Amino acid sequence: MKSNSIRKCSVLLTALLLAACSMPAAIGMQAQPPEGIETQPSQEQIEPPAATPADQPTAAPDPWANAQLEVVGEQEVVFDWSSDRCQDLNIPDLAVRAFRDADDTVNLVLAHPTAYRMTGTGLNALSVDCDPIHTSRNDPDPEMFTDNTWIAAAYTEDGETVYALGHNEYQGHTHPGQCPQNDYFACWYNTITLLISTDGGNSFSPAFEPPGHFVAGLPVPYEAGKGAYGLRAPSNIIQGPEGYFYAFVNLASERSERQYVCALRTSDLSDPAAWRFWDGQGFEDRFINPYLEPDADQAEHLCQPYAVDQIGHALNESITYNSALERFVLIGISADQIEGREVWGFYYAFSKDLLNWTRRQLLMEVPLPWTVASSGSDLSYLYPSLLDPDSPDRNFATTDDTAYLYFTRNNFGHGSLDRDLVRVPVQFVP
């Protein structure tokens, strides 16, 4: 993509998909900052517990009720771009996902429009496979949703058939006649699509002939000049209450800097039309392809903000279930007021039911591309995700009391392709 300055803002920036400064087309992505962020501690009134009769035993206190997640070690490199890359654009450009195939080989996806993977006997023993597992079609027709696609959320039940939510980014400025502004940000349109692999993750393609693989998006079509808008950067997929499969995405409004988390779920991973979004009360409403239903009431098909007061506007990059806490753990990038100053970094929140969340807490304060003096050259970090090498789950959707936080390190700023995948050990502390 052409040179663009990353706009600095004091409000929350999603940190998913940052557009690179002075980089060729389709090697990085940027989300624009949403309007406002609640950074003051919540003022929820807590009612005292009812008195317990003296002759009745009290319940044992839950040692994990006020648990914290803490970093307990130093960074280690998982993928070193300078020595491990298959080609220059082989970079970790979204939060990484992992799964075990039918032979119990671990696959760690390095997402980009041309995607590669690392494979091995476990997360602690991986090497790069230089056979690409997915190559984007760069289709100039926005109605097909097949321009540049990142494998964002792979999930398999048997290790052979792997479904994946794709982050599809239509880059109008790269297609003649589609962007009079000739500007990446002015002509960036995002949707979520469904990919499938029937060979254990060796290769991915649209699950249905495009545009039949469309999963989710805003109820409006692409239009040059509307800015960066749409649904993008899905979390990994996790099975939650009542057997539904859940994912969390970033929603960026058109012609606006407003962003928030959109929650969606499905009972059938094989059907892209089966996903339903959080409408403020439940998961009843469906997404529409705006090209096929142009006369639909847009308000009825717009995902509503999800748990903004608790998780903020962009805590949607990683979701796991912790067996020690017996709670779900959401990881992402956020900001909050801590000791009188605005602190940016990687945050987390807990939930028992994927509906009610604790207020986000800081895990790591790190330099981000919009908090450093020079986004194009200063060291910065992006794309956090939580993975546990000991997880018995085929999709690494569970953790115990220890795990690793994986993230991308921009060694020489977001204007450089020199980006490593690193990790730090973390521990859940009761």
Q: CA-to-CA distance for 13 and 34, rounded, in angstroms?
A: 6
Return the pLDDT at 60.
67
Neighbours of 202 (CB within 10 A): 14
Does some domain include residue 8? no
Q: What is the mean pLDDT of the segment spanning 415-430?
A: 96
Contact 320, 398 (CB under 8 A): yes
Amino acid (1-letter code) at residue 154 = A
Comparison of pLDDT for 28 and 318, the residue scoring more: 318
Distance in angstroms (rounded) separating the CA atoms of residues 229 and 252:
5
Look at the block and give the residue holding tokens 């995902």. 303
Check residue 84 and give its pLDDT: 98
For residue 183, give the CATH number of its domain: 2.115.10
Give the contacts of 171 (CB within 8 A, at least 6 positions apart). 1, 25, 26, 147, 148, 184, 187, 188
Each residue's pLDDT tens digit, 122-148:
999 999 999 999 999 999 999 999 999
Q: Decide: 196 and 208 in contact? Cβ < 8 Å.
A: no
Beta-strand ranges (E) seen in 324-401 are 327-338, 341-351, 361-365, 380-387, 398-399
Segments in 156-269 forming alpha helices (H): none
How far is it, in rounded angstroms, from Cα 19 to Cα 270? Answer: 31
Question: What sign does the dihedral 176-181-182-185 (CA atoms) show?
Answer: negative
Residue 406 domain-assigned (yes or no): no
118 contacts: CB under 8 Å, gap ≥ 6:
78, 79, 107, 108, 110, 126, 127, 128, 129
**133 belongs to a structural domain:** yes
Residue 2 belongs to some domain of the structure: no
Q: How many domains does the chain have?
A: 1
Residue 372 lies in a domain: no
Separation of alpha carbons 374 and 415, rounded Å = 10
Question: What is the model's pLDDT at position 1?
Answer: 39
**67-80 CB burial, b ≥16 within 10 A, e <16:** bebeeeeeeeebbe
Q: Where are the alpha helices (DSSP H) in 221-376?
A: 308-311
CB of 7 closer than 8 Å to CB of 33: yes
| Distance from C-alpha of 252 to C-alpha of 55, rounded to nearest angstrom | 56
What is the torsion angle, in degrees rounded to the nearest 10, for the CA atoms of residue 74, residue 320, residue 29 and residue 100? 90
Q: Is residue 149 part of a domain?
A: yes
Q: What is the pLDDT of residue 62?
A: 75
pLDDT in tens, 158-177: 999 999 999 999 999 999 99
Contact 172, 243 (CB under 8 A): no
Q: How many other CB atoms sit within 10 Å of the CB of residue 5? A: 11
**For position 256, what pLDDT does the model report?**
82
Contacts within 8 Å (CB) and 24+ apart, 212-216: 212/272, 213/145, 213/166, 213/272, 214/145, 214/272, 214/287, 214/289, 215/165, 215/191, 215/272, 215/273, 215/275, 215/287, 216/191, 216/192, 216/249, 216/262, 216/264, 216/275, 216/277, 216/287, 216/303
Minimum mean pLDDT range among 64-68, 152-156, 182-186, 327-331: 64-68
- Whether the pLDDT of residue 29 is over 80: the answer is no
| Residue 275 belongs to some domain of the structure | yes
The answer as to whether 247 is a domain residue is: yes
* pLDDT tens by residue, 101-110: 999 999 999 9
Six token digits for residue 129 = 């496979």
Its pTM stands at 0.87
Domain ranges, residue 248: 93-358
